[in-house]
Every structure is written in C-alpha cells, then in structure tokens.
C-alpha cells in the first residue's frame, strides 16, 4: 500500500512539473515575441514622424508585424483560455492584474482594426480611402495609448522571461526552446514575405491618388 501511495505521489509530482513547464513555455514564447514586436513597433513609430517620405517603410514594417502580432495574440489567448477553463497550473499562476485583464480584449480589438484598416487603405477603391484613413488614424491613436499601458504592465515580466530561451544556462530548463525559437523566427519570416509582396501596392495606391495628410 505504501509503495502504491508513493507511486501515485510521484506521478502527481510529474504531472505538476509538466503542467508548470507548459505554463513557463507559454510565458517564454509570449515574452520572446513581445521583444520582437517592441523593436518593430519602435521602428514603425519612427516612420510616422515622416509618414509622407517614409510611407513605403511604414507599410513594409506594418505588414511585417502581422504574423508576430498573431503569434502574440495566440499565445496570450491560450493563457487566457487555459486559466478560465480551470487548468490547474494556470490557476496556480494566477491571472494578470485586473487592469491588464480588462485591457486585453480592447487591445486585441484595436489591433485588428488598425491592421485591417491599414490593409484596406491599400486594397480598397480610391473612394474608400478617406474613410479608411480616418478609421486607421483614430484606431491607431487609441491603440498606441492602450499599448503603452500594456507594455508598461508587462515590462518587468518580459525582461525577466524573454532571454531564457536564448541563454545557454536557462534554455534547457524548459523543453521546447528550439520550437519556440523557430516559431518566432517563422513569424518574422512570414512577415517579411508578406511585406515584400505588399510593397508594389504602395506605388499603385499613390498612383491612384492616395495621400496621407497630417
């Protein structure tokens, strides 16, 4: 009976370790892609300062951002779903602070609007440009405010977790570091492909009379 109880106890500990590893794996992926997004968004912000002259880089970086953004949304949505579906390890980790929890769905919605309106500016007929430009600008202002709160709220956690899959001392502590690294690299690669495919549309958009004011 003692051996059976010991065996069950060992099995429970192994299950708990696997569950904790799953939580840590998700957190590491989220942090790694967050760093990539931070760098790209900073570069995108620079193009806004001279948007007329830097329209092509603005569009290029914007399209490059899409796959990493989707990866980040996917990883955070996974944590959200696992927590509210009652996964023990995610319940033990606990939710983000209430402000960040409430902000999350708003930020995702604004992100979708910003990117969708930007793509629509390139692909819709000229008659739609003024309307789409207004939506793009207005949603971007709201989005950047929400993003600033989001970044500040997760800054310390991201700084702590992001290097762990990339440093020899810590990358082997949680299985799957290579897969997580490849996921981030693949999202950037897909973004580059998408960006290069989109660049010709900028010239056509400008030729059709598209112009950013202000």
Note whether 120 and 132 are within 8 A (CB): yes
Q: Which residues of 142-174 are buried (b: 16+ CB within 10 A; e: fewer)?
A: ebeebbeebeeebeeebeebbbbbeeeeebeeb
- Using CA atoms, how far residue 33 sits from 16, 37, 84, 93, 94, in Å, is 26, 6, 23, 20, 21
Q: Which two tokens stand for residue 202?
A: 């900028």
Nearest one of 56, 9, 93, 72 to 198, comparing CA atoms? 56
Residues 66 and 63: their CA atoms lie apart, in Å, by 5
CA–CA gap between residue 127 and residue 25 (Å, rounded): 47
pLDDT-derived band at 7, boundaries 50, 70, 90: low
More confident residue, 6 or 199: 199
pLDDT score at 120: 87
Percent of the chain with pLDDT over 90: 45
**Residue-wise DSSP of 115-134:** HHHHHHHHHS-GGGHHHHHH
* pLDDT tens-digit map of 130-147: 888 899 989 989 998 998
Residues sharing a CB contact under 8 Å with residue 4, sequence separation 6 or more, in sequence order: none
Q: Environment class of residue 20 by beta-carbon count within 10 Å: exposed (0-12), middle (13-18) or buried (19+)?
A: middle
Q: Which of 150, 121, 152, 155 is nearest to 135 (CA)?
A: 121
More confident residue, 149 or 125: 149
pTM of structure: 0.85
């Amino acid at each position: 009976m003692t051996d059976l109880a010991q065996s069950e106890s060992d099995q429970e500990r192994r299950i708990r370790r696997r569950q904790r590893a799953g939580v840590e794996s998700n957190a590491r992926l989220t942090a790694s892609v967050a760093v990539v997004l931070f760098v790209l968004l900073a570069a995108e912000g620079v193009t806004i300062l001279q948007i007329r002259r830097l329209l092509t880089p603005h569009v290029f970086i914007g399209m490059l951002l899409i796959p990493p953004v989707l990866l980040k949304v996917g990883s955070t949505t996974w944590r959200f779903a696992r927590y509210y579906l009652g996964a023990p390890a995610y319940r033990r980790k606990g939710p983000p602070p209430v402000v960040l929890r409430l902000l999350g769905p708003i930020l995702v919605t604004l992100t979708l609007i910003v990117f969708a309106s930007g793509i629509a500016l390139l692909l819709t007929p000229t008659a739609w440009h003024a309307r789409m430009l207004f939506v793009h600008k207005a949603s971007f202002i709201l989005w950047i405010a929400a993003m600033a709160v989001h970044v500040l709220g997760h800054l310390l956690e991201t700084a702590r977790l992001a290097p762990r899959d990339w440093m020899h001392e810590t990358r082997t502590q949680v299985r799957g570091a290579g897969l997580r690294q490849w996921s981030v690299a693949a999202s950037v690669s897909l973004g580059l492909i998408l960006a290069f495919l989109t660049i010709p549309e900028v010239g056509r958009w400008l030729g059709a009379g598209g112009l950013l004011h202000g």
